[in-house]
Every structure is written in structure tokens, then in C-alpha cells.
Chains A and B, each alone.
Chain A
């Protein structure tokens, strides 16, 4: 299995809602990532988990809360988002050696109203 899956594909939420994005991989990768991508822009790294521990937080606002329940799953909990948070949220996973090649999921298209 060389796939990263993400659910849901689309999400519309109000600014007072709480929702979660889910990501799963079964490639045995021990690093998992959350990226945010705006239209016509490159992905921006948000969080990195290595061996199920948060290793990088790119100064992301606390309204985004990541969680890694086990080596295959990654969640992103959303609360009190702003309209400017509307974007494509991409999950990726990678081995930690030797290539660190990141495999991306299909993404969740998030719209905050």
C-alpha cells in the first residue's frame, strides 16, 4: 500500500465550529506532516511528527491542533477558524531514512464561512 488517505475531501465550517481532518498511511513511515496550500502557491509546512511525537510546529495558530494517535494516523483538530484559513490541507508521510521522500494525500479542501 503506497497511499496516503485523507478524509473528508471537502469541508465547509463556520467560524464557531469544531471539526477534525484525518490522515492515514500504511507504508510504515515514521514521519507525518500537515501542510496548508493556498491557490497558486506552494505548500506551507504546519506540523511534523516523528515517531508519533511532535517535532516541528511552524508557529501555527493554536486554533489548529495536531494529534498523532499512532504511527499510521494523523489528525488535525480545527476550532474557531477564520475565513483566511480556507485552503487545501495536505497530509504527507515519509520514511526517515534515507530519502525522506514525502508522499502526499489527496487533501481536504476546507472552506471557512
Chain B
């Protein structure tokens, strides 16, 4: 059974600092997703990572995937208050179909 673990679950950081959120998954998966959720809102797709070594960047966020280590990272550069949200990673179960397993989420707070 695929399990996805994120850490940290809570992250409080100052504006301007860098930090990384880690996402480990327990069994083979060929697709890794990152989503953002603001309080009371829906999930917004940030990144889709399809292959080993994939790296994607959007603004202050960069996501990477190491399928051999079963690890994805979401790196935050020079955080700003607008990045405060909950970030979920999700891995596709197996190598077919569209069923995802989500991590517990990382609640990020960026303080001025």
C-alpha cells in the first residue's frame, strides 16, 4: 500500500528565508503532484513531476523528484507572506490509473 509522508507538518518561517518541504512515498509511483490550499478554499495544482530528476520552478517555488529515493522536495526561496498556505504532495498509486494518495499536508506560515 502506498503511503506518503510529508515533513514538516507545520512550518513557520520569516519573510526572505529559504526552506524545503519533503515528501517521501513508500512504493513505486511514476507521478508526483504538488498542490496548494488556502484556508477554506480548494486545491490549486502547482507542479506535476513525471520522471526521475524532474525539476520544475514557478516563481519562488521549485519542485524536484528523485524516484530512486522515492523523494520529492518543494523548495521555497525568499519566502513572502503570500506563500502562506497548506501544501500537499500526492503520488499516483502504481503506474496506471488516476488514484492519488495524499500526504498529510504542510501548513506554512510566513511571518513578516
Contacts and interface: CB of A to CB of B under 8 A. Distances in A.
A42 B42 contact: no
Given A42-B103, A42-B105, A100 B31 contact: yes
A100 to B, nearest CB: 5
Interface string B91-112: 0100001111011110100000
Nearest to A90: B42
Given A48-B99, A102-B45, 15 more contacts: A40-B107, A42-B90, A42-B102, A43-B43, A43-B88, A43-B102, A45-B99, A48-B98, A55-B97, A90-B43, A100-B98, A102-B33, A106-B41, A106-B42, A107-B41
A99 interface: yes
Contacts of B103: 42
Given A31-B98, A56-B99, A101 B42 contact: no
B31 A42 contact: no
A64 interface: no
Contacts of A105: 42
Give the interface SS of chain B, mostly helix, strand, loop or mixed: strand
Interface residues of B, number: 22
Contacts of A33: 98
A96 B100 CA distance: 13
B19 to A, nearest CB: 21
A27 B60 CA distance: 28
9 contacts: A48-B99, A50-B98, A99-B50, A100-B31, A100-B98, A101-B48, A102-B98, A103-B45, A107-B41
A19 B104 CA distance: 30
A25 interface: no
B105 to A, nearest CB: 6
A101 B102 contact: no
